[in-house]
Structure 1
Amino acid sequence: MIALAVLALALVGGGMWYRFALWNASLREAIPEPVRQELQLLEAAPAENQARLRQIYGEYLYGDYFAPDVIREDMLIFAGLVSLALPLIVAGGVWVSLRLSRQLTAVALSAGEIAAGDFSSRAQLVPHTPPGLQNLATDFNHMAERLQRYDRELQESSAAIAHELRTPLTAAIGRLQGIIDGVFQAEPGQFDTVMRQLQQLTRLTDDLHLLSMAHIGKLALHLSEFPLEDLCRERIAWAAPSLEAAGMQVRLQVPGHLALLADRDRIGQLLSVLIDNALRYAATGKALVLRAEFAEGDAILLAEDRGPGFTQEHLDRVCERFWRAESSRSRHAGGSGLGLSIASAICVAHGGDLTALNRRDGGAQIRMRIPLRSPAA
């Protein structure tokens, strides 16, 4: 629109200047030859010949400039130029408005479909629109994609939560009912079975509470400085019986001087998730490498296994709650499907992030970025 306005001003101003140039040239052509030659000499040094210049200008050139017929002619030419510029402004304005409105209309239509519950709707990118509007449509589509992912996760997790809660609860109720009916004897072994089911429920509700608090940014962190290597060795020792039973070797490559200012218990929980995840889904590889490195003020913790890895289309879903890929995240392997979701939430709460990759020589790599000095401090 600014360009149209400048173009219209240039058309009107240029036309009036051209009209004045023609008028001035015609007046100079009518000046007698001796006076014209004298005028050329005087205009070569105007500051020294102002009086004579005014006399010649008034007598031969501009004396009639404000005459009614001259003013009338100027106004007619000005009106003609404006009448030429107006269609240009209108046509250009309509063209620009259509370009703007098409992109805005596409966003509005998609917004209406999303408001009606169709989270798969996306705003079409209209070509040749201003970059700002294209960025608006792109950001809107990203927002819609996240809404669709959250909606899908909510639907899937609701069903999964019901199943995960019902299974141990049904088992515990059935065992207790059997004891009440005399089917099972009221002995410590039976109560231990019930207790294990109730503990499973407790772990699940604790995990869900952690994810809920992390989602709203309210996950409490108790910060302290500690060596990461010591914590890794501690968690590996905790899991030693399971690792030995699976025949899995854990190799630790963490610098001894690497210290984090973070919540030690939460980072320990993250490490336990990584070890448990490898035991459940990558035990066939018989190897797990935990290594850490520095990167611009962050600690990068890598967990690399030799298991089946992730299919390419599932890489962006590994941190969704209750998600399992059919081939490598079978429900029969155990677990609730919350492990990597919890690990990711702990990383985010510390100002970092978690991503999943496939290794070139086979297996999966879980990459966690944790600031050496947590923003929460």
Structure 2
Amino acid sequence: MNQNRQKKEPGTLWFWICGRLISLAVGCIILIAFLMWLRFYVQNKWHEYRMPEDVRAELAVLIKNPRLNINRYHEIIDTWYGLSYSDPSMGVMDWLVLGALILFFIPVIVLITLKAARPISRHIGRLDRAARSVSEGGFGFKVPVPDTLPLELQRLSENFNDMSVKLERYEKDLKKAHVTLAHELRSPLTAATGRLQGMIDGIFEPDEDQLKMVMRQLNELNRLVEDLHLLKLADAGQLNLDVMPVNLSDIVREKIAWITPSAKKVGVDIIHHQKQTITCMADPYRIGQVFLILMDNALRYAADGRVLDISYRSSSEAVVVVFRDSGPAVADNFLDSIFSPFVREDVSRSRHSGGSGLGLSIARAICEAHGGRLSAEKNKGKGLSFCITLPRH
């Protein structure tokens, strides 16, 4: 058999049930009719066997043309087959045989139906136990998916397994996020509390410098809370946007002017390819946040590349803004998680890292709130490219 031949697509549940039930019903009717015919066939052969050879030969001629001697034909039939043979109605024995066949096939039909329905019943039982396990917190529970099941049950089982795996991953990410969030909140709070306690205990003088240090920690804590609030609003679809026609290149140029002093400190040259006016419908403040996050991300993690290249692609339907750096890239298995909250790689791009790990999550949430998307891909040479896609209308 050719191994490259595609696997046969399983039938739907409707055809699976109808095919078996109809096949069972038709098969039983055909078998009962065959057995009834076989009874009469055997009976006729028995009567023929009892006849003398000359009578059998004479009857064979008369069967082909009874009008040759109709009286002799009926005489032979009545003598050897019986007077009831010519009666067109079903006799008592015929009804008894038919009833016996029906009584015999009823349990056969029941057994075959139960056997055919057993795989579906067993699999639904597995799904029930798996769903109960997931409802009790046992995420990651899977059910086998036999190829003999109808198409709907196979898809239901596969979707259930995918859901269970995603819930397990979500639970792990949620626990990890809670731990990280507690750490991120505790760090500035502990520093501010410790500094204030030191001033109360007389260890530090309550002068302007000490108060500024406390204020910086409180500002850091407030920024983190605001970021979390914005992210949750976006996740809930409640992020309010003031959408208007905007020139994206003007917003990019404004953010470049804002971040240029920081870029010079780390030795990063920002190249802005502005060949034409790039307009779309967007919230200028929120989109400005996205641009600033991506620029700050490049300064934090890709300063070794010394260059941040910003370019545009546009069509009648969408606008794409590309932020391409030349710093160290991230591992392939980390690329899918780069937009998750509080995710920061331990090596490579995180060598100069800082921040809470919420920036890219917020940037993607803002893009999705605009009906667009934010994606990342590795460059052919070095670094990463972040692509912002926004609908024009």
Contact 1:228 1:256 in 2 (8 A): no
Q: Structure 1 residues 183, 12: closer, same or farther in 2, change over 3 A?
A: closer
Deviation at 1:78, TM superposition (A): 7.7
1:49 corresponds to: none
Report the Cα distance in structure 1 between the residues aligned to 2:313 and 2:201, rounded to whole angstroms: 59
**Structure 1 stretch 171-180 or stretch 76-85: which is displaced more?**
76-85
Structure-2 change in CA distance of 1:275 and 1:11 (3 Å): same
Letter in 2 for 1:33: N
Q: Distance in 2 between matches of 1:96 and 1:304?
A: 60
Q: Distance in 2 between matches of 1:253 and 1:126?
A: 56
Give unpaired runs (5+ residues) of structure 2. Answer: 1-16, 45-58, 69-84
Residue in structure 1 matched with residue 9 of structure 2 by the alignment: none
1:371 is aligned to: 391
Q: TM-score with structure 2 length normalisation?
A: 0.76
Instruction: Tell whether 2:331 aligns with 1:315.
Output: no
Amino acid at match of 1:73: D
Q: Residue 71 of structure 2 aligns with which residue?
A: none
What is the one-letter code of the residue matched to 2:21? A
Residue 260 (structure 1) aligned with residue 280 (structure 2): yes
Alpha-carbon distance in structure 1 between the residues aligned to 2:158 and 2:318: 30
Does the alignment pair 1:198 with 2:198? Answer: no
Who is 1:45 aligned against?
A: none
1:229–1:255 contact (8 Å) kept in structure 2: no
Stretch of structure 1 that moved more, 339-348 or 172-181: 172-181
C-alpha contact (below 8 Å) 2:249/2:278 kept by paired residues: yes
Q: Tell me the CA shift for residue 17 of structure 1.
A: 6.7
Q: 2:97 aligns with which of 62, 69, 76?
A: 76
- 1:33 paired with 2:55, answer no
Shift in CA distance, 159/32, structure 1 to aligned 2, threshold 3 Å: closer
Instruction: Give the match for residue 111 of structure 1.
Output: 131
Consecutive unaligned residues of structure 1, counting only runs of 5 or more, are 37-61
Choose 140-149 or 248-257, whichever is displaced more: 248-257
235-244 or 300-309, larger mean C-alpha shift: 300-309
Structure 1 229/321 Cα, relative in aligned 2: closer, same or farther at 3 Å? same
Cα distance in 2 for residues equivalent to 1:156 and 1:286: 33
Matches within 5 A, 1:1-377: 1-15=17-31, 31=63, 33=65, 64-65=87-88, 67-69=89-91, 73=94, 76-77=97-98, 80=101, 83-84=104-105, 87=108, 90-91=111-112, 93-253=113-273, 256-294=276-314, 297-328=317-348, 330=350, 333-373=353-393
Alpha-carbon distance between aligned partners in 2 of 1:154 and 1:28, rounded to the nearest angstrom: 91
Structure 1: distance between partners of 2:166 and 2:328: 28
Q: Is 2:270–2:307's contact at 8 Å kept on the other side of the alignment?
A: yes
Larger radius of gyration: 2
Residue 43 of structure 1 is matched in structure 2 by: none
Q: Which residue of 1 aligns with 2:51?
A: none
CA contact (8 A) 1:321 1:337 kept: yes
- Where does residue 57 of structure 1 map in the other structure? none
Instruction: State whether residues 300 and 352 of structure 2, in contact with CA within 8 Å, keep that contact through their aligned partners in structure 1.
Output: no
Structure-2 change in CA distance of 1:142 and 1:369 (3 Å): farther
CA shift at 1:277, angstroms?
1.0
Distance in 1, Cα, partners of 2:329 & 2:310: 16
TM-score, structure 1 as length reference:
0.78
User: Structure 1 residue 64: deviation in Å?
Assistant: 4.3
Q: Provide Cα deviations, 1:135-159, integer angstroms capped at 9, x if missing partner.
A: 1122122222332232222211222
C-alpha displacement of 1:168: 1.5
Q: CA deviation at 1:206?
A: 0.3
**Does the aligned pair in 1 maintain the 2:140–2:161 contact within 8 Å?**
no
Q: Matched residue of 1:239: which SS? A: helix
Alignment partner, residue 44 of structure 1: none
Over aligned residue pairs, what C-alpha RMSD do you find?
3.3
Q: Is the 8 A contact 2:231 2:362 kept in 1?
A: yes
Contact persistence 2:32–2:101 (CA under 8 A): no
- Structure 2 CA distance, aligned partners of 1:226 and 1:28? 102
Offset, 1:221: 1.4
| More moved, 169-178 vs 233-242 | 169-178
- Counterpart Cα distance in 2 of 1:185 and 1:265: 41
Q: Name the count of aligned residue pairs.
A: 344
Q: Secondary structure at the match of 1:154?
A: helix
Q: CA distance change for structure 1 residues 178 and 231 in 2, over 3 Å: closer, same or farther?
A: same
Give me the whole-angstrom Cα distance separating, in 2, the residues matched to 1:32 and 1:177: 123
CA contact (8 A) 1:12 1:78 kept: no
Stretch deviating more after TM superposition (212-221 or 80-89)? 80-89
